[in-house]
Amino acid sequence: MSIVEYLIELGVKKDLVEKTDFICKLNLSEESLWQELSLKILPQIRDFNTHKAIHDKVFSNWDQRPAPWWIQTKDKAQQTNLFQSIKDSHFESYKQFHRWSVESFDKFWDHTISKLGIKFQTPFSEIIERPVNYETPGWLPEAKMNIVESCFQSPSENPAIIFQEEGGNLQTMSFEELQNLSKQVANSLVKKGFKKDDPIAIAMPMTVESVGIYLGILYVGCRAVSIADSFSAKEIETRLRISEAKAIFTMDYMSRAGKKIPLYERVIESNAKKIFVLPLEKENLGKLRPEDCHWKDFLDSNTDFEAVSCNPKDYINILFSSGTTGDPKAIPWNHLTPIKAAMDGHFHQDIRPKDVVCWPTNLGWMMGPWLIFATLINKGTIALYYGVPTSEKFGGFVEKAKVNILGLVPSIVKAWRQTKCMEEKNWDSIKCFSSTGECSNSDDYGYLMFLANYRPIIEYCGGTEIGGGYLTGTLIQNASPSTFTTPTLGLDIRILDENQNESNIGEVYIVPPSLGLSETLLNRNHHDVYFKGTKILENSRPLRKHGDQMEKLNEHCFRAHGRADDTMNLGGIKVSSAEIERTLNTLPWIYESAAIAISPEGGGPSQLVIFALLKGKEERNKDALLKDLSTKLKKDLNPLFKVEDLVIVDSLPRTSSNKVMRRVLRKNYQPS
């Protein structure tokens, strides 16, 4: 059945069928035909299943799987930041530009620093010290800087943040107002006796105040300690202990879907030394511990403050990422890391001055700081919605705020598709989506593109220890849902099989150096974690271990397959099997457990499966046990975690050294 016959069978209006027939007779290539249909016909047929069927028909003979859903055009490509830099650098293709960015990394980062307008109090003598130490490169020797100064170079009256409280109206904070708030925080910290390099934690939702607090901490040269507001008291305590935080900012309550969730009480339970408390309801100031302080009593009115001068490698942020054993890895960011985030935003997400960037996230995850730096350094506007992103009201915020770049985790899109809550929204302002945190499902992401009349999705895979991505897409290449098209600029990757040979599917290794890559860990040996035993390339560059499982489908297309090690992404949150198992093993009915993440059929966000040896011989109700497992994880680890399946076993597969072989469990798992 042809496309025209298919539309007739569906009962589509005659004039639309005639237009389709005319387009189909133009003898266009598959890409051009799809582009014409998606621009001129499909917006008038508001049914994704129909769109998908038409896409399948257009590309039925396509031999370069997967087929694209967004086709770049020359005129649109020429408007991008990336195209302009390729042209300015006198290259003829993206491939040449990327190769230059890897082989002549000093010239590329010099070009990028200039493009971004990074401010220095004392200039660097060279981009990188020679000879290059690939594990710990000497970036920007002799420079003095404070990266927060590079965040405030947009005209002072331009909007820095557009925000909306749940049930409230759209509001705007200018660059001048945000800078003043940040300087007020800085002055207040100095008056409270804090000084350069002091660790100060933040455990609160992403609000204008939390952004101001974060930047204020950096103004003083202190270290922001990132803690997600969803963490349990025990997990907050772990992060305060590792970072040696001297104080923490939080809220008395936070609002989620109309519910008030206590936060200050949880932070007290974490044994925080000193707590600065912001009220959810400005008129209701509850009673605090004697050593704690209300926001109104903390915040100084003085807006005069000179950013403290720092070395490029001084720490600005302590973030956490789960390791396979023990405490979470504590990963320091320095004043160079935001340059990597801003570079990715500039070239790959194409953030331009006044662009509105929305990415539902939290300062406890790397995408919170990433959003601040990638947007503000590129002179864009951060869009913050204080409610849940799965609600129809969030879609209204995206529409009213005229969001240009919308970042997501796949779980959000899955929820939208199930409820169809976004299908009536006008998202014409969106020029691209971006996605990170989980493996995505191609059908869900075709649906996401459908919601905005087929805008591209920039898949974005990276990590806290990278300061951004290592694999992504661009706005000058075609886009197919759930695939990546290129390593990010400034670095390259290798995919190795179990025998350390290059392969089309296997574990990802990064080829250093790249500005922004971590060089230290607070509570691990950095060399042992990332470089010990890895392959050395012919050019003497050591490969850097990352841990993701990736498949190269063709020359310009990659697909993610989750983690290769014993960590997993659940709802965009990285957590180790060991952390989950330690928590669940405290249940009285569990003798031993093993946690694995499974990708559902067709791809998409990982699902948590528990293998368990039970104490005693009595029969137990599986549904009740599943509920018990999820309740335990929600209470002691994270309220967003859920156990999808429980497999009761008599033993667990082990290596000769008695380690549980979770890869065997993953390979043999059959859904019940």
Q: Give the tens place of pLDDT for each residue, 389-440.
A: 999 999 999 999 999 999 999 889 989 999 999 999 999 999 999 999 888 8
Classify residue 622: in a domain, yes or no: yes
Q: Are the CB atoms for 473 and 457 separated by under 8 Å?
A: yes
Classify residue 632: in a domain, yes or no: yes
Considering 563, 586, 612, which residue would you say is the last residue of a domain? 563
Q: Is the pLDDT of residue 566 over 80?
A: no
Q: What is the pLDDT of residue 582?
A: 79
Integer Cα distance of 183 and 329 in angstroms: 31
- CATH number of the domain within which 497 lies: 2.30.38.10
Q: What is the CA radius of gyration of the chain?
A: 25
Same domain, 593 and 613: yes
Integer Cα distance of 140 and 364 in angstroms: 28
Cβ neighbours, 10 Å, residue 593: 23
User: Whole-angstrom distance between the N-terminal and C-terminal Cα of the chain?
Assistant: 38
Q: Are the CB atoms for 552 and 558 separated by under 8 Å?
A: yes
- Contacts by 2-10 with C-beta closer than 8 Å and gap 24+? 2/57, 3/37, 3/54, 3/57, 3/58, 6/53, 6/54, 6/57, 10/50
Tokens of 212: 């101001």
Residues 125-141 have pLDDT tens digits of: 999 999 999 999 999 99
Same domain, 553 and 585: no
Same domain, 532 and 575: no
Considering 512, 539, 563, which residue would you say is the last residue of a domain? 563
Same domain, 581 and 503: no
Q: What is the pLDDT of residue 598?
A: 85
Domain range for 500? 490-563
Cβ neighbours, 10 Å, residue 306: 11
Q: What is the pLDDT of residue 602?
A: 66
Q: What are phi and psi of 331, to 5 degrees?
A: -110, 115
Considering 39, 58, 77, which residue would you say is the last residue of a domain? 58
Same domain, 559 and 620: no
Same domain, 539 and 609: no
Q: What is the pLDDT of residue 660?
A: 77
Spatial strand order in the sheet of 199-203: 293-294, 275-278, 247-251, 199-203, 223-226, 315-321, 329-334
- CATH number of the domain within which 571 lies: 3.30.300.30
Q: Which residue has the tokens 């002549």?
A: 104
Identify residue 472 by its one-letter amino acid code: T
Classify residue 582: in a domain, yes or no: yes
The residue among 230 and 305 whose pLDDT is bigger is 305
Residues 28-86 have pLDDT tens digits of: 999 999 999 998 999 999 899 999 999 999 999 888 778 999 999 889 999 999 999 99
Integer Cα distance of 470 and 347 in angstroms: 13
Integer Cα distance of 465 and 319 in angstroms: 9
Cβ neighbours, 10 Å, residue 7: 23
Q: Which of 343, 203, 323 is nearest to 568 (CA)?
A: 323
Least confident of 5-9, 254-258, 492-496: 254-258
Least confident of 239-253, 308-322, 574-588: 574-588
Classify residue 95: in a domain, yes or no: no
Tokens of 240: 């305060």
Task: Return all residues near 171 (Cβ < 8 A) that are at least 6 apart.
Answer: 162, 163, 164
Classify residue 364: in a domain, yes or no: no
Classify residue 409: in a domain, yes or no: no
Same domain, 622 and 533: no
Confidence of residue 468 (pLDDT cuts 50, 70, 90): very high
Tokens of 374: 């990638």
Residues 15-27 have pLDDT tens digits of: 999 999 999 999 9
Tokens of 358: 């929305």
Q: Are strands 171-174 and 607-614 parallel, antiparallel or unpaired?
A: unpaired
Same domain, 512 and 549: yes
Q: Report the domain count for the chain.
A: 3
Confidence of residue 656 (pLDDT cuts 50, 70, 90): low
Classify residue 338: in a domain, yes or no: no
Q: Is the pLDDT of residue 641 over 90?
A: no
Q: Is the pLDDT of residue 664 over 90?
A: no
Q: Indicate the pTM of the whole model.
A: 0.88
Integer Cα distance of 212 and 207 in angstroms: 9
Q: What is the pLDDT of residue 520?
A: 97
Q: What is the pLDDT of residue 572?
A: 67
Give the DSSP H or E segment for 494: strand 492-496
Q: Which of 174, 194, 175 is nearest to 186 (CA)?
A: 194
Task: Return all residues near 579 (Cβ < 8 A) that are at least 6 apart.
Answer: 322, 328, 637
Same domain, 588 and 624: yes
Same domain, 529 and 593: no
Same domain, 546 and 589: no
Share of the chain above pLDDT 90, in %: 75
Q: What are phi and psi of 356, to 5 degrees?
A: -100, 120
Same domain, 621 and 604: yes
Rama region for 56: left / alpha / beta (φ>0; ψ in -120 to 50; rest): alpha
